[in-house]
Amino acid sequence: MISKKELLIKMHISYGQLYRWKREGLIPDEWFIKQSVSTGQETFFDEELIIPRIEQILNYKDKYQFDEMKDLFSKEKPVNYDYKKALTLDVIDPYFLKIYLNGRKDIKINELAVIYILTELDGTIESMNYLKNDFSEVKNNDIIFVVSSEAKSYLLIAPYLEILDQSLKIIKQYKIEDAIYKIASII
Amino acid sequence: MSEKEINFLGCKVIDGGSFSKVNVMGELISNGDLNVDELNVMGNAEFKENLNAKTIDILGPCKVNKNIKATEINIAGTLDVLGNVESTTFDSLGIVKISGDLNVDKASIHISPSVFNNIYGDHIEIVQAKHVKIHNKQFFKSNIKDYVTINEIEATVISLMNAKVGRVSGEDVTIYDGCEIDTVEYSKRLSIAKNVKINKIIKF
């Protein structure tokens, strides 16, 4: 992982450039991973994704408009992690991973984050019951809430829970971005 | 974008849509995404979904429940956004509350009791006396002893006055009178006036 400040220094770019490229869709929102640090919140990136992307942008910026670059990048295969690599992560239950993948050979990091959280939660909830769901659309800023009602626990995935039925109680919550940071640091 | 130009007088509820120009002179509620070249809010408007526009001029109260994407935003009224705002320019003489992130090339924010979560961009300034030009008319506001409250600002060039900020991080940072800042980080240049409170300064 590389912090935002380290990235600016390493690639000799400014905040203005970085945020303009984010606004123009050249750097996906989900690549910005926020983490709590002693001084507040800091943003990190997966170095293997962000460095090549910025190098591409710097190479292309005099040849293509932003829209053209965005089109070029959208045609690239999304970066997924090979399932064999994912199986080596000791924070993820390999059995859960196999069931979730159901024959697929790769997985996105946000899906891995959910499987990691389900591994952590197994026992509190019946994690197996959730493995048939598709977690590929889960966003970095989503939170997994474990809510209980009448001695049973359930899973909710949302960016926030503004209104909750009074009969439900939140007993645990996990931020997807924290899980992504954990996995990206060890994968 | 659609060729349609539409004026809303009185009270109207729409499902969103695409228009070339929308003038809100009464009260408008849009329940769906609105895509427009030019939006003028002179009355009262609430957008329950996303708002996408080239130019947005706000003179009255305006609320957006999701996100705004624009090229130019000028505010002399009030704007309350629950999501994120992205624009090339953002010029505010009014009162603004943005719960998500403001991502801009250039923001010029007049001193007011405005509240921002995070502001990211190239040039960010909080200024004392400013005019905003809307429909070829200039709106001036006199000095107000208010504070703009911001959680975090990250930009290439930052100039602040009467601002309460958690963290400021930039290449070229100027802090004028009336500021209270928890942490200032700068990489190239830092200039600080006498009557400011800063807890921590870090050169990176």
- Beta strand ranges found along chain A (DSSP E): 2-3, 33-37, 40-45, 81-82, 106-107, 143-149, 152-158, 169-175
Nearest to A23 among B103, B157, B183 (CB): B103
Nearest to A22 among B103, B156, B170 (CB): B103
| Dist. CA A97–CA A111, nearest whole Å | 10
Indicate the burial class of B119 (C-beta count within 10 angstroms; 0-12, 13-18, 19 or more). Answer: buried
pLDDT > 60? residue A76: yes
How many residues in chain A? Answer: 187
Q: Residues B70-95, buried b or exposed e (16+ Cβ, 10 A)?
A: beebbbbbbbbbebbbbbbbbbbbbb
Cα separations in angstroms, B165 against A60, A92, B168, B189: 36, 40, 7, 19
pLDDT of residue A6: 93
The answer to whether B26 and B43 are in contact (CB under 8 A) is yes
pLDDT > 50? residue A165: yes
Q: What is the pTM of this model?
A: 0.78
Contacts across the A-B interface (CB distance below 8 Å) = 49
DSSP sequence for B48-100: SS-EEEEEEEE-SEEEESS-EE-SEEEESSEEEESS-EEEEEEEESSEEEEEE
Mean pLDDT in each 10-residue stretch from start to end of chain B (204 residues)? 81 94 95 96 96 96 96 96 96 94 96 94 86 60 76 96 95 95 95 94 92
Range from A37-41, A71-75, A140-144, B165-169 that averages highest in pLDDT:
B165-169
Q: Residues B156-184, buried b or exposed e (16+ Cβ, 10 A)?
A: bbbbbbbbbbbbbbbbbbbbbebbbbbbb
Is B167 in Cβ contact with A39 (below 8 Å)? yes
Is B105 in Cβ contact with A14 (below 8 Å)? no
Pairing of strands B5-8, A2-3: unpaired
The answer to whether A42 and A4 are in contact (CB under 8 A) is yes
Tell me how close the Cα of A69 comes to any Cα of chain B, in angstroms. Answer: 18
pLDDT > 80? residue A163: no
Q: Which residues of B touch A41 (CB under 8 A)?
A: 152
Average pLDDT, chain A: 87
| Dist. CA B39–CA B56, nearest whole Å | 5
Pairing of strands B27-30, B163-175: unpaired
Closest A-chain CA to B119: A19
pLDDT of residue B136: 63
pLDDT of residue A79: 65
